[in-house]
Amino acid sequence: MKEFGQLGLTDREVEALARLKQDLSARFPLVDIVVFGSRVRGDSDLESDLDVLVVLSVRRSHKIRAEVSGVVFEINLDLGTNISALVVGSEEWLNGRLSESPIKQNVDKEGVSIWYKAVHRRRSTGGVRPWNVYLLRKASMMRAAWAFA
């Protein structure tokens, strides 16, 4: 599995991802941000976007998805990047209809976390990544904190 520094991102893309982390973590109960897709695999071309999975501790809604898209749009506009975000709730991602999807399998196989990096790297012998268990616990705690904020 690649490390963040091995992705061959431009300085603007690195800046865009740092801003994305900052902006999203300030506005949403963020659990994880994962870069995946052709840029991680190394088979991108000049027209390829930078695929990013945004995992929230709350259930995804149209309003939240629109707000995240707005943040991504502003960053892309300001920095001339081409980030494409997939927004999911942690419960849906880990246990819901997306948990068995091809995109989930791709993210699990190739994804590079830029939020909980140290936790995201380890694998358990049982085939379940410890970060999945961690995300569920973290999401539960964040939902509780978010409800009282």
pLDDT at 148 > cutoff 50: no
| Contact status, residue 56 vs residue 64, Cβ threshold 8 Å | yes
Arithmetic mean of pLDDT, 50-64: 92
pLDDT higher than 80, residue 129: no
Angle at 113 (CA atoms; ends 109, 117), nearest 5 degrees: 115
Determine the average pLDDT of the residues in 125-131: 42
- CA–CA separation, 77 and 88 (whole Å): 23
How is residue 2 written in tokens? 């690649």
More confident residue, 122 or 132: 132
Structural domains of the chain sorted by starting position, each given as residue range(s) with its CATH number in brackets: 4-148 (3.30.460.10)
Contact (CB, 8 A) for 114 and 25 = no
Give the mean pLDDT of the chain. 80
pLDDT value for 8: 80
47: its two tokens: 């027209």
User: Contact at 8 Å (CB) between 37 and 103?
Assistant: no
**Per-residue model confidence as pLDDT tens digits over 69-125:** 999 999 999 999 999 999 999 999 989 989 899 999 999 999 998 875 333 333 333
CA–CA distance, 44 with 86 (Å, rounded to integer): 18
Cβ atoms of 9 and 39 within 8 Å: the answer is yes
Structure pTM? 0.75
